[in-house]
């Protein structure tokens, strides 16, 4: 089943959700600020996305700039930061089987549905 990691306050995430709704396919919504992914789940998502953990971080978030910017962090430390502060996770993330994309721009979601 298709899964979207969604933040209702984010316009790109809402646009991604609309693409899924219009697709007519079944999907599951994970509001990741409420149901925070574990470190293991984030590692799985990052592997599906085929990116480095730092590429999933919202580097313009104030908390990132204040706490982490300019520091040498391991992949494990970056993942731990995203679990502790989930608003650092880029969104929306859509997973369909063994494929995943970050919906930025939202149209990239169409590639995997």
**How does pLDDT run along the chain (113 residues), one tens digit per residue?**
999 999 999 999 999 999 999 999 999 999 999 999 999 999 999 999 999 999 999 999 999 999 999 999 999 999 999 999 999 999 999 999 999 999 999 999 999 99
pLDDT at position 87: 96
Report the CATH number of the 2-111 domain: 3.40.30.10
Rounded to two decimals, the pTM is 0.95
SS3 state of residue 15: helix
Domain boundaries along the sequence of the chain: 2-111
Structure tokens at 39: 């470190």
pLDDT score, position 48: 98
Rg (CA), the chain: 14
DSSP letter string over 32-80? TTTSPPPHHHHHHHHHHHTS-GGGGB-TTSHHHHHHTTT----HHHHHH
Residues annotated catalytic, as ranges? 10
What's residue 54's pLDDT?
98
């Amino acid at each position: 089943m298709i899964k979207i990691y969604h933040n209702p306050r984010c316009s790109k995430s809402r646009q991604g959700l609309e693409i899924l709704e219009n697709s007519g396919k079944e999907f599951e919504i994970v509001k990741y600020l409420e149901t925070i992914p574990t470190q293991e789940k984030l590692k799985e998502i990052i592997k599906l996305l085929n990116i480095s953990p730092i590429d999933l971080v919202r580097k313009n978030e104030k908390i990132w700039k204040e706490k982490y910017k300019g520091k040498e962090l391991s992949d494990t430390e970056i993942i731990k930061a995203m679990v502790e502060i989930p608003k650092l996770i880029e969104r929306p993330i859509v997973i369909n089987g063994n494929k995943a994309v970050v919906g930025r721009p939202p149209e990239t979601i169409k590639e995997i549905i």
